Amino acid sequence: MIILDASFLIAQLDSADLHHARATQFLDEVNGIDEVMWGASPITLAEVLVRPARAGLLHAASTAVQRLGVEVVALTPDAPKQLAELRASTGLRMPDCCVLLALEQVGGELATFDERLAAAARDQGYEVRMG
């Protein structure tokens, strides 16, 4: 499973985003090679949907995410402790720690445009695929 962070999903959903073309190309290339599963933490998805919600476009954005086939990587009961440890050890913001926790839970790879998150994921031993 490839875990998508907010920077990647926002770029994919917003055609005006600087990274939109790269995100679209990455999704097309990966989908053309393998049958891949996409995932994201519920916090990541919430972060992605804030702007559309403010604009009255929540349903359209949610539908677009569903069409991508993004599966929610659910938080486990011990997530608060794990997230606290990740935050303390990496210094990342909590939403980024949620991305790392999703990676930890599924043993996947990461697609992101966030260099700091990418570095932390690599430090944790995960493959990072920049879109």
Q: What is the mean pLDDT of each successive set of 10 residues along the chain, which is 131 residues long?
A: 96 95 91 83 97 96 94 96 97 97 95 96 93 56
Please tell me the distance from the alpha carbon of residue 127 to that of residue 131, in angstroms, as a whole number. Answer: 13
Our count of domains for the chain comes to: 1
CB 112 within 8 A of CB 99: yes
Listing from the earlier edge strand, what are the strands of the sheet with 109-112? Answer: 70-72, 38-40, 2-4, 109-112, 128-130
**Residue-range definition of the domain harbouring residue 20:** 2-130
What is the pLDDT at residue 130?
Answer: 80
According to the model, what pLDDT value does residue 131 have? 56
